[in-house]
Structure 1
């Protein structure tokens, strides 16, 4: 029943008030019933209406997209429709209701703007269609399932740091005037010695021939292997800053992938917890960052512990030659002692290992609080957690494992700087 039927009922009260008899009341009620039943049979059925959804292009989180709903009238009657194009709340659908008057064989398109607030594959909800006649007293309504989804990629906000990091790599590769020497890098060319050069880089034979000091210049080795392991276990689901630990890990992985592939290295990414959730490689990818984003889009942390023996086996199967293995995980004391440390010798015997972790910025704030007794006890607990993390990083350094820890927004840049530093020193 529509608002028009309600208004008609109110109008029917006028004659009843003027002639307050049972006969007049029965007449008014009879007229309303007859008009309502007649209008019900005049309403066209919806089963001859065809619906099709066409989702818009892939977007990164923070950008807008759209979805197009096509309505096709296959019935021999005119359809007067009210349509609600519903989506999941996280899709951020704007103005989902529309009105249409379709002649037989006519079609119409409904464009729904979407402003997603969550990464992943966001599904469409039911399309609710309400059909009415010319009188509009009674309407037929049906909710129809029209499958569709919009894929929202990780935001990759850290790409703003890519130009500056790439410039450092270009300096290492000799594309600027300054050449940097690093142990274990590839020989590039010879140049005259200038004050401040490392005496170990002097080529004595070339200097004897030139009768002047000549030094060797070097460039970082290319076509190296980088394997990034992103922990998607229960630790990654923890809220940290404006997102989760897993979101910060994805940002760091995307920036390192863009930087390493730009430097000519091959990057493999493994997302795992109790099982391997996703794998991506830049070997045959035209756009490694985009391909990695597509692979990571539907992956979310699961409330399981990570199986580091299985993860180690996957790393060894992926990179049989020496590689830089980056473990993006949480520095938890029990997990590190019981699960990670036992498998580290297997990895370090063949690869260079780096552990990257997200630091909770709220710990620093809590550790500095000095208000009442409750805040002091909380500060002591936060300080103890920070000292434990520092101790774990020292323990890893003693095993020959580099580590980096930073706030969620700083982790991508810190990990990229560590990669560049390893390039300079020939650590790859």
Structure 2
């Protein structure tokens, strides 16, 4: 049973009547009797909620920033009409609308309620229960019941950096020698022989083949294929920091005093977690490497392995990766670098490119990665990529007031720390990419292409 706001309003009016009545005792008894009678009448005539049955259908997979539609069919298996309110228990981050719907289901019939979801967070957004209030004719009281009707919509990473893929694929074709451009195909893997043309590198002339023919012949090269790229995503504490601008607004919901009617309550957008920017960069790199003919594996790790993708076919790689990434959240614990290196070495027996997406935080790297880095770089080519904070760069540029000068000094100190840790990593033979949130994905793709062109993979 649940009382409505109308019952509270009548009770308040009854108090006024009691205060103004010449005989307050009799007036109080009369008000209570009338209110109780109205509640009993409503409960007696309200349709029962227990016979209701619920069935769902609709979307189960969408990208962050897109909308999903979920249909909820309400079936009244009872013998009385049910009129009232229905609340689908989606979390605030699901962005469900309407959060509360009016329903009128005659006995033995069905009605459909369409929910539109606009999620504001990646991951699994689930609704387990549906609560129904069946109102009586006076609107003072209602029968209330909760039914299990589970449904989950998985919100995938949005892959914002896919806009950079065509230009990087064009550069890859140039490296592969298949694109009619001025840049000759580069790489160290022999491709074919062709006639010499002006501008060719004379070091590529095949003198033996030339001796057997009347024309000068040169070798053409292409980037190596069938190499292995292992993308390692740090999901520890430092990956939770928010930087840049969030691609979608964040929103919450504040329930009304009755606990049934939510009220949208927009929240500020402080940025996007480093984890999500890193995921976006990983997706662009994976798409590019797969098109280059390389094998791509994925490992997410903090103090334990959170996700592992291996052996996915090129046509299924991106869908497999986004499904593996979707439920991953940053863990507020210090990452176990030694455990991460052990997990990489156990899964990558042969030499490969290990791309570690983490924060270039000097203190965290000094205590975590640096002591175990030689074990990793001795067996693999290592590339470390980190997302910088644009606010630090902006702070370093402002010098107008004394307070801004102090802020700029702190920002410069932070930037100096990142430059020093970058130099130390490079002394260990590690490639480093340190870029802003908007630039991290294309910068990482460019670093991969540079390694391809240099024949280091």
How high is the TM-score relative to the length of structure 1?
Answer: 0.90
Q: Greater CA deviation, 148-157 or 129-138? A: 129-138
1:280 deviates by: 1.2
Q: 1:9 to 1:282 in 2, by over 3 A?
A: same
Which of 404, 414, 429 is equivalent to 1:385? 414
Gaps of 5+ in 1: none
Aligned residue for 1:269?
A: 298
Counterpart check, 1:180 vs 2:184: yes
Aligned residue for 2:142?
A: 139
- DSSP 3-state at the match of 1:75: coil
Aligned residue for 2:369?
A: 340
Contact 1:88 1:125 in 2 (8 A): no
Counterpart check, 1:192 vs 2:221: no
Aligned residue for 2:267?
A: none
Which of 367, 385, 402 is equivalent to 2:396? 367
CA distance in 2, matches of 1:318, 1:146: 41
CA distance in 2, matches of 1:376, 1:6: 58
Q: 1:271 to 1:198 in 2, by over 3 A?
A: same
Contact 2:307 2:325 in 1 (8 A): yes
Aligned residue for 1:166?
A: 169
- DSSP 3-state at the match of 2:373: helix
Aligned residue for 2:100?
A: 97
- DSSP 3-state at the match of 2:119: coil
1:426 deviates by: 0.8
Counterpart check, 1:421 vs 2:416: no
- DSSP 3-state at the match of 1:194: coil
Q: 1:196 to 1:399 in 2, by over 3 A?
A: farther
Gaps of 5+ in 2: 246-271
Task: Show the 5 A alignment for 1:266-305.
Answer: 266-284=295-313, 286-305=315-334
Counterpart check, 1:229 vs 2:225: no
Equivalent residue pairs, number: 424
Q: Greater CA deviation, 67-76 or 417-426? A: 67-76
Which of 404, 408, 424 is equivalent to 2:433? 404
Q: 1:374 to 1:204 in 2, by over 3 A?
A: same
1:268 deviates by: 0.6
User: Could you give the per-residue CA deviations for residues 143-198 of structure 1, whole angstroms, max 9, x where no partner exists?
Assistant: 44433322111111000111111111122223223573545x22112223334332
Aligned residue for 1:155?
A: 158
Runs of 4+ residues deviating >6 angstroms: 3-13, 19-24, 26-29
- DSSP 3-state at the match of 2:85: strand
CA distance in 2, matches of 1:138, 1:400: 73
Which of 224, 243, 246 is equivalent to 1:240? 243
Counterpart check, 1:130 vs 2:133: yes
Counterpart check, 1:308 vs 2:333: no
Q: Greater CA deviation, 46-55 or 259-268? A: 46-55
How high is the TM-score relative to the length of structure 2?
Answer: 0.85
Q: 1:51 to 1:399 in 2, by over 3 A?
A: same
1:117 deviates by: 0.8
Contact 2:64 2:120 in 1 (8 A): yes
Contact 1:246 1:301 in 2 (8 A): yes
CA distance in 1, matches of 2:26, 2:396: 80
Q: 1:220 to 1:372 in 2, by over 3 A?
A: same
Which of 59, 63, 87 is equivalent to 1:60? 63
Which of 201, 207, 210 is equivalent to 1:207? 210
CA distance in 1, matches of 2:24, 2:337: 83
CA distance in 2, matches of 1:337, 1:365: 26
Q: 1:24 to 1:385 in 2, by over 3 A?
A: closer
1:409 deviates by: 1.2
